[in-house]
Amino acid sequence: MKQWKKLLTKKERDKTGLFLVEGFHLVEEALKAGRLEEIIVQENIELPSSFDYGATPITTVPADIIKLLAETDTPQGIFAVCHQEKSSFTEGTSYLLIDAVQDPGNLGTMIRTADAAGVDVVVIGNGSVDMYNSKVLRSAQGSHFHLPVIKGDISTWTSDLLDRGIPVYGTALENAEPFHQIQSPGSYALIVGNEGNGVNKELLSKTTANLFIPIHGKSESLNVAVAAGILLYYLRG
């Protein structure tokens, strides 16, 4: 139980290459993806017949253990220990590169949106919140298990993608052009950045072009996750 509890910390997740998910939906998505190490279920709670858990170890625990692990107000009584995605260069035609996004809800929403938009790879750069943070996992709703979501250096990825002939678009409010003036390129990478400071200026200097979304009302800017959704769907064509 102490080991499970430690997995709620980034330090232990980084050390072990494991993370903890909570709730029937996330456990089922992890099962489908073959990423499970162990299922933890509260006594007197039955696993659904649809769960194809095969030889996955299952540990039954009392309700007080579930309460110690739970980070939701109404826990469903089921957790799973999962192994992390290995960070490596992954082939694809569409990429979302995330530079120093720190809000867990924003990061999880962008992973989920990238999944919905058919993006091939999501790269989480330095300075971003941990992708296996429990709030990120809940916001992403299982999308971690649907496509490669990996840690990486955004500058290196940008250079490598450009070398392969894939256009890389930054997002910026200055020295940028309206996104709808760009023709959908087929293959692309999109960089989105920190909620307060935006994309690192050094990265913006390397891109194919930098885009902005026109504001027609009085708001100063769009939430980064909303902006990412608009641009990902537009660039998909």
Q: Which domains, from first to last, does the chain contain?
A: 2-83 (3.30.1330.30), 94-236 (3.40.1280.10)
SS3 of residue 13 by DSSP: helix
Question: Buried b / exposed e across 25-55, counting CB within 10 Å, b at 16+?
Answer: ebbbbbbeeebbeebbbbeeeeeeeebeeee
In the block, tokens 């769009």 appear at 222
Mean of the per-residue pLDDT values for the chain?
Answer: 96
Does the predicted TM-score (pTM) go above 0.75?
yes
Q: pLDDT class for 53, splitting at 50, 70, 90?
A: confident
Q: pLDDT class for 50, splitting at 50, 70, 90?
A: confident
Q: pLDDT class for 45, splitting at 50, 70, 90?
A: very high
How many whole angstroms separate alpha carbon 178 and alpha carbon 180?
6
Q: How far is CA 77 from CA 71, 72, 109, in A?
A: 11, 11, 24
pLDDT at 89 over 80: no
Give the pairing type, strands 36-42 and 78-83: antiparallel
